[in-house]
Amino acid sequence: MSAEGLAQAQDKMREAGVAPAAIDVFTHYYGELEAGATGLVLEETIEPLLDPDKLADVEISEEAAAAAIQKTAVIKLNGGLGTSMGMDKAKSLLPVRDGKSFLDIIAAQVLHAREAYGARLPLVLMNSFRTQDDSLAELGKHAGIEVDGLPLDFLQNREPKIRVDDLTPVDWPADPSLEWCPPGHGDIYTALLSSGVLDALLDAGFLYASVSNSDNLGAVPNAQIAGWFAQSGAPYAAELCPRTPADRKGGHLAIRKADGQLILRDTAQTAPEEMDYFTDEFRHPFFHTNNLWFDLVAIKKALTERGAVLGLPLIRNEKTVDPTDGNSPKVYQLESAMGAAIEVFEGATAIVVGRERFLPVKTTNDLLLLRSDAYELGDDAGLRLAVETAPLIDLDSKHFKTMAKFGARFPHGAPSLKDASSLTVKGDWTFGANVTVTGDALLADEGDARTLGDGSTLAG
């Protein structure tokens, strides 16, 4: 059935107007799937990366930094809907600080950097069909955000979900939109090319791209890193941070024994019996932030030479067609990771940056922390710790996981967390106004809904 399944999937993509380059990439991964590829990276095939460059040790002149950021474009991955937090719109529209959304703060970061360095510094979003309209409307509130007639966004591609049982594209008449999925953020390279944005940036004189997730407000435009990247001559670079026990699930770089090439290994590429190696923060001491830098000329050359198929490792993601219905047909989503492109480019490198450049919001735990006084918004619109160590937040997922539940239980905003080491909430608790948390605080499950009164102090 696989030859027939591929033909059906290709026809479905053509009928939907998917770009030919994206169909070629999908065809490549379908072949990998049919051949039994799993994308696993075995521990015996790699060496840990132990001594990458560190930004703290880099000396870049102000002139070199300013010259590099003049030629840099900022690209934000903005296709996520925040479904894990109960959202059905772009996660980047969520208010984070003082009523400002992720996109509001990102726009402020870019506008500040333009003024500070006299740089054009275009901001470009990689949107999905579901995030495009709302996100562009949000950016439109910021006068002057568009640069040189360059587009503010381009669309990531989409592909059919493939049935596990016969490798044909799944049909789901109850909601045909669920028949489709994004190809993972590794699609950024294909989408940049097929959208024409890559050529537009090159034609406008830009040489470098600084790429990060829109839910990571720590990835502020940085001229020093731009200067380091330009000076390195590398075609591609990844930002890393030292791993802590809290980072054990994050992907990491390693050195492939076969050829000495840097590669990325994610959780989905690790065999279950080797997870002990993967999660060992001493064996693999740095994690991959998904903040990337690449040379636009090198990207264009590689895509042109390879017919848009970079050949990033397959990530075979098994799900059900309807994520909310465990009894719906099992499907494969054929994905790739943006950061895996590091293995495509000879001379690719990495640099260790400060933890302040990695502030992702994946859960309401993360959001509560960033909304609290444990962080402050700088003049450059960067969010940074206002305390020595961020407190650990653990909210009961039954009552706080979705934004609707979270908002109902924090109607007056985040409590004061600057003097807290941790906050653990078990059960159904609503927080009053001006609550202060200190030390290692715990709210136990009392069996019914409870309220922490206005002005309360919760001490650990």
pLDDT, tens digit, 9 for 90 and up, residues 272-294 = 999 999 999 999 999 999 999 99
Check whether 394 has a pLDDT greater than 90. yes
pLDDT, mean of residues 116-121: 96
DSSP letter for each residue of 278-313? HT-TTTS-EEEEEEEEEEHHHHHHHHHHTTT---PP
Confidence of residue 1 (pLDDT cuts 50, 70, 90): low
pLDDT tens by residue, 40-72: 899 999 999 999 999 999 999 999 999 999 999
pLDDT at 250: 85
pLDDT tens by residue, 153-198: 999 999 999 999 999 999 999 999 999 999 989 999 999 999 999 9
Confidence of residue 245 (pLDDT cuts 50, 70, 90): confident
Pairing relation of β-strands 123-127 and 153-155?
parallel
Confidence of residue 247 (pLDDT cuts 50, 70, 90): confident
pLDDT, mean of residues 102-120: 97
CA pseudo-torsion sign 285, 291, 297, 301 = positive
Q: Residue 110 and residue 107: Cα distance in Å, rounded?
A: 5
pLDDT tens by residue, 319-328: 999 988 999 9
Confidence of residue 246 (pLDDT cuts 50, 70, 90): confident
pLDDT at 88: 83
pLDDT, mean of residues 348-373: 96
pLDDT at 460: 82
pLDDT, mean of residues 121-148: 95
Of 362, 401, 418, 426, the active-site residue reads 362
Up-side HSE of residue 335: CA atoms within 13 Å toward CB? 19
pLDDT at 82: 86
pLDDT, mean of residues 347-358: 96
Q: What percent of the chain has pLDDT over 70?
A: 100
Check whether 110 has a pLDDT greater than 70. yes
Confidence of residue 142 (pLDDT cuts 50, 70, 90): very high
Up-side HSE of residue 12: CA atoms within 13 Å toward CB? 22
pLDDT, mean of residues 239-256: 90
Task: Match 């969520």 to its residue by tokens.
Answer: 94
SS3 label, residue 239 = strand
Q: Residue 460 and residue 456: Cα distance in Å, rounded?
A: 13
Q: What percent of the chain has pLDDT over 90?
A: 89
pLDDT, mean of residues 396-413: 97
Confidence of residue 253 (pLDDT cuts 50, 70, 90): very high
pLDDT at 324: 84
Confidence of residue 296 (pLDDT cuts 50, 70, 90): very high
pLDDT tens by residue, 367-391: 999 999 999 999 999 999 999 999 9
Backbone φ and ψ of 425, nearest 5°: -120, 120
Quick check: is 362 catalytic?
yes
Closest by CA position to 158, among listed 333, 396, 404, 309: 333
